Structure 1
Amino acid sequence: MTAARQAFTRESADARRAALIEATAAVLAEQGLAGTNVRAICAKAGVSPGLLRHYFDGINDLVAATYAATSDRMDAIFAVAVAGAGPDPRARLMAYLTASFRPPVTDPELLGAWTAFWALARSDARMAAIHATSYAGYRERLRELLDACGAADAGRLAIMLTAMVDGLWLELSLDAASFGAEAAASMVEKAVAALLD
């Protein structure tokens, strides 16, 4: 008689790390920095508190990993938007800029997590470095898209348009009824037309 196989399989280390990162983003979104602790994160992830230390060097390490993962997720969303816009340089630029006004970027949970990351970037060197890398990458990809449209001084335009998109995204995320996603996209489109034409 052979031994029966176990009825379960252990999750991979990558899957457990990802679950902890996802739970951290959710707790940050729901409870803010003040309510984000090991117990709340592990309860959200459905794991014991000891497991967090197995995969991360503590809560600060986990929050930093969550910021980096969230930034990577946003990069992937913007890349998909650009790829889906076809070969026209202006269409690709607009897809990149206006992806911030559609789900999943407008998910209210993302706003909660993102504002926590921004707050931490002001006081924590590691979070500041993640923020700097993330925003530099976004602006560089935007500069490349502006270059493809023949923009003069694309680097400065990338900074300006990034600030505009961030402001509109923040307002839209706080109060979607105030002007709406289509209005935000239209504002950006008019700004781009004025800058490029």
Structure 2
Amino acid sequence: MSAKQSSFTREQPDDRRQSLVEACAHCLATLGVGNTSVRAICKEAGVSPGLLRHYFSGVDALIAATYRWTGQRVSFALDQAVEVAGNDPRTRLLAYLTASFRPPIASPELLATWLAFWSLTKTDALIAKQHAEIYADYRSDIERLIAEFRPDQKDARLAAVALTALVDGLWLELSLGSAPFTTDEAAALAEKWLDHLLD
């Protein structure tokens, strides 16, 4: 067997596992938590139920893996926005905050998937733990960017909490598709709120 063929064999199981994660995200968005079953996920992924049980102990474990993957996708999009923003600390911070107002983060399907995760935080300890970690990382990134912009800021933690709440609300409205404001207006609100908090 050639090295190329060997590499493909090693990667193939990861591809199959990933197809289940993506199918789970789609099912959560379109069917909701209650109807996201082994059968529904495997039908979406085009695989047999036995394959799901090969990679995951059950639907709960797959949903947890899907939440991790979804959080990583969002984090990557935020980091990319900061990277292309340049070196100015204020611009970088605003890029991080306003990236949530545009695709791929501002997306009806991502919102539907995210709402499914939120609904599980009260009943699933693993999802609740992941939720806390994802949001803690988000606030930590905001605090770090605030520190770059305003090194003498005394209450960066509460500023990050307030900015997270604002961004979540605006993102929710934009992702629903019927927001009474534009993406540019959402960005302007975030900028005004930022300047007010860090004044």
TM-score (norm 1): 0.92
The secondary structure found in structure 2 opposite 1:12 is: helix
Tell me how far 1:174 sits from its aligned partner: 1.5
Pairing partner for 1:195 from 191, 194, 197: 197
RMSD between aligned alpha carbons? 1.7
The secondary structure found in structure 2 opposite 1:40 is: helix
Gap runs ≥5 in structure 2: none
The CA deviation string for residues 80-130 of structure 1, in whole angstroms up to 9 with x for no partner, is 000110000000000000000000111111011000000101111100000
- Is 1:159–2:161 an aligned residue pair? yes
**How far apart, in 2, do the equivalents of 1:30 and 1:116 lie?**
10
Match of 1:121?
121
| Aligned partners of 2:39 and 2:49 also within 8 Å | yes
Tell me how far 1:52 sits from its aligned partner: 0.2
| Aligned partners of 2:23 and 2:42 also within 8 Å | yes
**How far apart, in 1, do the equivalents of 2:22 and 2:56 lie?**
14
Alignment of 1:132-151 (within 5 A): 132-150=132-150, 151=153
Tell me how far 1:13 sits from its aligned partner: 1.3
**How far apart, in 1, do the equivalents of 2:139 and 2:157 lie?**
8
Match of 2:59?
59
Match of 2:183?
181
Match of 1:46?
46
Gap runs ≥5 in structure 1: none
**How far apart, in 2, do the equivalents of 1:26 and 1:180 lie?**
27
Superposition misfits of 4+ residues, deviation over 3 angstroms:
8-11
| Aligned partners of 2:108 and 2:177 also within 8 Å | no
**How many pairs were matched up?**
191
The secondary structure found in structure 2 opposite 1:47 is: coil
Tell me how far 1:152 sits from its aligned partner: 2.8
**How far apart, in 1, do the equivalents of 2:84 and 2:178 lie?**
25
Tell me how far 1:10 sits from its aligned partner: 8.9
The secondary structure found in structure 1 opposite 2:119 is: helix
Identity, % of aligned positions = 54
**How far apart, in 1, do the equivalents of 2:56 and 2:72 lie?**
19
Tell me how far 1:177 sits from its aligned partner: 4.4
Larger helix fraction of residues: 2
